[in-house]
Structure 1
């Protein structure tokens, strides 16, 4: 009875257990499919989010492209003041290859008087310039003709592409030059696909077979030797993800790759990869993309690379640090040769091409020369001018292009001159500093600037920021004011050279002295100018009015206030090399004032020019008067205080003026040839004595500059209103050529009325006959 009851009780327990198990499975299944739905929904939402992130990146601005800063574009035309050696140096700087016969873009050949050039296409501020093959001929004055080789037509003007000086990068430290796929050499693309992703055009962003194959190879080798990521996955990682090694990151990478492949064409993906891929490190800057890598490793555009160089760009992707060609050349060459072998094995190269390529050297640029130009003094001026003319945020905009006035060859010569001269001056006076500005005489732009004895030092810019007495550099403006009154003064006019004492409004006296403490009684104006005599200069300045001299200087471009005391006539006026360069540019430019500038054009990201105001332009000094001043400045170089410079370049006509402040605290020089104007200061930062005169300090820098950059002789054509006159050496009176004791000098035509018969005024009939 009891057993039956027990058996009866057990049956419901089994039923209940089965029912409980079924209920648990049902509940588990319910949870699973609900969690699955939630997971799918989450994945879909996350995919939608990723899709939006990707779309924003791809369809907007993929990269913040650094602002590109270019040099001036060298203009060649008949009569251009450009010598054969100068153009050769420019082409070398631009990375052109010298060959026997130019066969492609980026090549040139040269004889002693001609250069045949196949110019690259480039973006000029005035529009795109197509590639062009020309013949440039030279004579003693510079360029004599530029002819297009296709039809032998003579061109009015021909531009070379500017030098890319620097790229002002954003805070992320990434640097790149965007190159569209259609401008990328096909061999670079072929190599990339062979090495990194052979099935690129067949998969959908992820290649499962490649992942499995890589996993098998890595497990077999016991370490990671092969990757299975596609180009699309690599792009997703570079664009959106970190280098973290985790399954979550890899999964996210795969999802993003699938989305990218679904949304965009293969060509779009490939172009993005070619411009995004990390290619190396240039100091603090990360080098991205093939375009910049080509410049970084080889110093020329990617379109001009050899087969071996193109293969290297693809080879280095695997490990830019590991295959650094300057540190590990053998390792880098071995990797390059592997890429070349793959190209040959896949019929992209013939056996002959392969052998020639593997036997070639890496062909790297000089690693001692930075890809970016270190121009702290000049770039400070550029940034300040950009801010003043376009606003302070312009440089933060992506893809702008700034075209400057800098002449790379002049800058190189200025830097070498400063370094070598400072080293030699240290033997006489320790730690003197320097500021130097060079302008382009024709364009009115700043061609070069050095603000420190170490030109690359980014600190106090003495070319712009110092204010020191300019000494005798003011004298051309004293004499310009006098010569503007031809009825009173000419180059032969006798000037008083006697002791003089002046009193200011406070009762203090001032007695100017000549450097040699001697007085000659009277001296011709040209001689006083040539030998930089102080007392005759003061007498002349007082005769024409100190205020008028100050006015001449202001009209020429002097930007600071001028105290009109008599001591101003001997340079008690504080200025900088840039301020001096401005007023001497006016002297060199036939008396025309043009505000010096460092910028010629700015293009936005779409290559549209931003509106800019033209520099101010006004006639400051009458051209005929300015011609007389220039003539006098050539005599300073030939026979005066700068005669050491004239002796160094005996067959070149140069104009110059030395300047020294009281107790030799400041050494100055300003001068020009047919091409450039230069203003140089040498002194101590603490304003202590240097023991240097203008001729022994600043002029030494200019002399070294011209040795680096051979000068072009001044042409100095007589201005309208100038005649070749004869003057009595004693009285300065206009005379006939046949008279004794006369000197031949240029003069204002309107006031040149020579006496008849060596002293007698012309009679009415002599005037009628034109005697």
Structure 2
């Protein structure tokens, strides 16, 4: 009986033992799980801290254009400033009421400039009145006190950002600089309880689950902004419970460690906002530029709502492909704002009735400047080494003039298309400099300006032909006691023999000889034989020395053929020496960079080459005068006829057998050097005036020239010279020509007797 009783209790004991074992296993596993989660959370915490407290993002190196300087006498006219403001995204209004707006009359522009970071320090917003006259800027006055400013800068154009290998592009904007409505919209649409929850919102997750189950598909998400940030920062887009659990844990850690404002700032600068070809557009700051072409602080209510609307699906709501979808989503955001008393009914209606107001989607927000950027990168490499552009947040301020670059590209495309009908496969290299700063203003290295390949503006080496002649004559005119613009030069057949017995007989282009011509006539009409005679008289070595002092940085073989351009060079090399002529004889090494700031906006050290006087200013003035005559009535007269009343300086050049067509010249603002030819060095049949000069003429049609001021310099007088023998004469003498001359050498005869012809003497005149 006892045995049977003991047997009946046995199953209960076994059940209790099983439960006891299960409980023991459960709490042990729970402890292990808690330990695992704790250690995993510590691991995640280290990853999060490293990201948040270190460098959150690798900010692309930013490349800026030159900052347009406006001051009394600046060579900037009314239309050019209008074009610059349009490029910068300023809005034209009847009366500027906020930053980013301007108004204009025929002679004045009132502008409310944006604040911006200048290499010399932060520039505050400022409202000014800019007045113009026939020469350019007449005055710049501050509107607050009518004070005239010595110099006023516009912000530079952001040309490009050099992104890292991850393909992410962003423009960091602190939350304090974000419009408050964007923050309000984001919270209302994406996470209303952001300031209440601790990284995860269980109620939102439950609500989304019910909605999704009811709909039979995923129509609503329960992720908080913090969870979205965790996913964007650390996780992939994989849909799995493990990834979701990891996201939730990271969100809790982020919320525990950092303030809501820090989280919000990180989100606003991290969120994916669209795709710009191979670049991912991240953050509200860059999205504002990408969609609207202006800073986020200047967006309208409707545009701010649009940015928040795009978060849900940048591809699905792509406004250029699906404008109806995008507008419908934007209007939903506006309605949510109105329903939550963030907008009045009137504000809602006005915003909802406005168009999207997008920038031109066909135009890239990045400037494709392969030729210029190659020069910039090379200069950076030489100054700072290879690693600079890989550093986060670097800002590079360049010399590029966006308006000059645009005009140059249009001129190249239109002219080369026309020339290609006459000569197949012609190519081009073009360099423009800023006459006043000595910076490279524009560069084109291919007839397809955006093509990244052989940069003919820098890399070619071709005979420069008659482009060397201004330096031959500059060397001669420097000897004011021997040469003037009126000096007669022999134009007769000559033959030279070298040490090996080889002969050289230079000829004029028309194969004709006129016996004798003035130096100015020989210069203007690019006559070869008189040039050789002048060069031999002053010495070939001296001409080479003038070229090298003016900035020619490669060896010049001192042979007589050099006097007619048997010297190989590139458009950049030509631009360098012609910049010296345009700058009153002062040599300054051309540069593409004005300043570089590191991630803390601290300027990096820059060593600027000292300027040197290469050509005496008085001599240089005479050369400029002669180059003006080239355009007025010489080989460049077609250019002069295209711009009547405008003083331009220029020189055409053609190599042997018309293989290379060259032009170099300048107006009051830019110096240009242009080559047109074929890569295989074939004959083109183009002269300097029919090839390269045509590109320059098309450039000036795109960017109307400013007439040369040609202000007289010390040491120059107006002289009178005998047309026959070049002797200095009195103003009232017969057969004289009025020309500028060195005052030290202008010593006219006391009377006109020696200059009279036999028939004038016979008549007693």
TM-score between the two structures when normalised by the length of structure 2? 0.98
Alpha-carbon shift at residue 19 of structure 1 (Å): 4.3
Does 2:650 align with 1:651?
A: no
The residue matched to 1:193 in structure 2 has which SS? helix
1:345 corresponds to: 339
Of the candidates 54, 63, 72, which is equivalent to residue 57 of structure 2? 63
Does 2:467 align with 1:473?
A: yes
Does 2:243 align with 1:263?
A: no
2:200 corresponds to: 206
2:430 corresponds to: 436
2:556 corresponds to: 562
Alpha-carbon shift at residue 760 of structure 1 (Å): 6.3
Deviations 1:708-749 (A, max 9, x none): 000000001111111111111111111111111111000111
Of the candidates 171, 175, 182, which is equivalent to residue 177 of structure 1? 171
Of the candidates 633, 658, 667, which is equivalent to residue 627 of structure 2? 633
Alpha-carbon shift at residue 523 of structure 1 (Å): 0.7
Of the candidates 742, 755, 758, which is equivalent to residue 749 of structure 2? 755
Whole-angstrom CA distance in 2 between matches of 1:27 and 1:353:
68
1:50 corresponds to: 44
Q: Which moved more, 1:553-562 or 1:439-448?
A: 553-562
State whether residues 211 and 228 of structure 1, in contact with CA within 8 Å, keep that contact through their aligned partners in structure 2: yes
Of the candidates 240, 250, 253, which is equivalent to residue 234 of structure 2? 240
Whole-angstrom CA distance in 2 between matches of 1:379 and 1:11:
98
The residue matched to 2:367 in structure 1 has which SS? coil
Whole-angstrom CA distance in 2 between matches of 1:438 and 1:447:
5
Does 2:113 align with 1:109?
A: no
Q: Which moved more, 1:42-51 or 1:20-29?
A: 20-29
2:290 corresponds to: 296
1:709 corresponds to: 703
Whole-angstrom CA distance in 1 between matches of 2:22 and 2:324:
62
Alpha-carbon shift at residue 27 of structure 1 (Å): 3.4
State whether residues 293 and 313 of structure 1, in contact with CA within 8 Å, keep that contact through their aligned partners in structure 2: yes
Whole-angstrom CA distance in 2 between matches of 1:344 and 1:269:
26
Of the candidates 736, 741, 744, which is equivalent to residue 735 of structure 2? 741
Q: Which moved more, 1:36-45 or 1:131-140?
A: 36-45
Alpha-carbon shift at residue 252 of structure 1 (Å): 0.5
Does 2:504 align with 1:506?
A: no
Of the candidates 193, 197, 212, which is equivalent to residue 218 of structure 1? 212
Deviations 1:439-471 (A, max 9, x none): 000000000000000000111100000000000
Whole-angstrom CA distance in 1 between matches of 2:485 and 2:68:
38
Alpha-carbon shift at residue 22 of structure 1 (Å): 3.9
The residue matched to 1:427 in structure 2 has which SS? coil
The residue matched to 2:728 in structure 1 has which SS? coil
Whole-angstrom CA distance in 1 between matches of 2:466 and 2:445:
22
1:157 corresponds to: 151
The residue matched to 1:437 in structure 2 has which SS? strand
Whole-angstrom CA distance in 2 between matches of 1:408 and 1:505:
52
1:412 corresponds to: 406
Whole-angstrom CA distance in 2 between matches of 1:522 and 1:460:
45
Q: How does 1:185-204 map to 2 (within 5 A)?
A: 185-204=179-198
Does 2:120 align with 1:126?
A: yes
Deviations 1:26-81 (A, max 9, x none): 33333322222121111111101111111111111110000000000000000000
Give the CA RMSD over aligned residues: 1.1
Of the candidates 283, 297, 300, which is equivalent to residue 277 of structure 2? 283
Of the candidates 604, 610, 616, which is equivalent to residue 604 of structure 2? 610
1:492 corresponds to: 486
Of the candidates 574, 598, 601, which is equivalent to residue 595 of structure 2? 601
Alpha-carbon shift at residue 690 of structure 1 (Å): 0.6
Of the candidates 482, 499, 504, which is equivalent to residue 476 of structure 2? 482
Deviations 1:596-630 (A, max 9, x none): 00000000011110010013311111111000000
State whether residues 735 and 759 of structure 1, in contact with CA within 8 Å, keep that contact through their aligned partners in structure 2: no
Of the candidates 102, 111, 134, which is equivalent to residue 140 of structure 1? 134
Whole-angstrom CA distance in 1 between matches of 2:409 and 2:401:
12
Does 2:389 align with 1:402?
A: no
Deviations 1:162-185 (A, max 9, x none): 000000000000000001111100
Whole-angstrom CA distance in 1 between matches of 2:312 and 2:19:
51
Deviations 1:231-257 (A, max 9, x none): 000000000000000000110100111
TM-score between the two structures when normalised by the length of structure 1? 0.97
Deviations 1:331-380 (A, max 9, x none): 10000000111111111111111111111100000011101001010000
Alpha-carbon shift at residue 707 of structure 1 (Å): 0.3
Alpha-carbon shift at residue 325 of structure 1 (Å): 0.3
2:458 corresponds to: 464
Whole-angstrom CA distance in 2 between matches of 1:346 and 1:395:
46
Deviations 1:606-663 (A, max 9, x none): 1110010013311111111000000000000000000000000011000000000011
Whole-angstrom CA distance in 2 between matches of 1:506 and 1:376:
46
Whole-angstrom CA distance in 2 between matches of 1:14 and 1:684:
109
Whole-angstrom CA distance in 1 between matches of 2:36 and 2:189:
36
Does 2:547 align with 1:547?
A: no
State whether residues 596 and 615 of structure 1, in contact with CA within 8 Å, keep that contact through their aligned partners in structure 2: no
The residue matched to 1:514 in structure 2 has which SS? coil
Whole-angstrom CA distance in 2 between matches of 1:509 and 1:35:
103
1:3 corresponds to: none
Does 2:34 align with 1:40?
A: yes
Does 2:91 align with 1:85?
A: no
Whole-angstrom CA distance in 1 between matches of 2:591 and 2:55:
32
The residue matched to 2:262 in structure 1 has which SS? helix
The residue matched to 1:166 in structure 2 has which SS? strand
State whether residues 435 and 461 of structure 1, in contact with CA within 8 Å, keep that contact through their aligned partners in structure 2: yes
Whole-angstrom CA distance in 1 between matches of 2:389 and 2:499:
51
Deviations 1:208-227 (A, max 9, x none): 00000000001001111110
User: After TM superposition, where is structure 1 displaced by more than 6 Å over at least 4 residues in a row?
Assistant: none
The residue matched to 1:656 in structure 2 has which SS? strand
Alpha-carbon shift at residue 24 of structure 1 (Å): 4.0
2:761 corresponds to: none
Whole-angstrom CA distance in 2 between matches of 1:466 and 1:342:
61
Alpha-carbon shift at residue 16 of structure 1 (Å): 5.3
Deviations 1:543-567 (A, max 9, x none): 1111110010011101111111111
The residue matched to 1:318 in structure 2 has which SS? coil
The residue matched to 2:74 in structure 1 has which SS? coil
1:767 corresponds to: none
Whole-angstrom CA distance in 2 between matches of 1:178 and 1:528:
60
Alpha-carbon shift at residue 751 of structure 1 (Å): 1.0
Whole-angstrom CA distance in 1 between matches of 2:117 and 2:650:
38
Deviations 1:79-135 (A, max 9, x none): 000000000000000000000000000000000000000000000000000000000
1:731 corresponds to: 725
Whole-angstrom CA distance in 1 between matches of 2:305 and 2:213:
30
2:518 corresponds to: 524
2:365 corresponds to: 371
Alpha-carbon shift at residue 507 of structure 1 (Å): 1.9
Deviations 1:122-167 (A, max 9, x none): 0000000000000000000000000000000000000000000000
1:384 corresponds to: 378
Whole-angstrom CA distance in 2 between matches of 1:596 and 1:729:
40
Unaligned runs of 5+ residues in structure 1 are: 1-6, 762-771
1:360 corresponds to: 354
Whole-angstrom CA distance in 1 between matches of 2:46 and 2:190:
28
State whether residues 597 and 615 of structure 1, in contact with CA within 8 Å, keep that contact through their aligned partners in structure 2: no
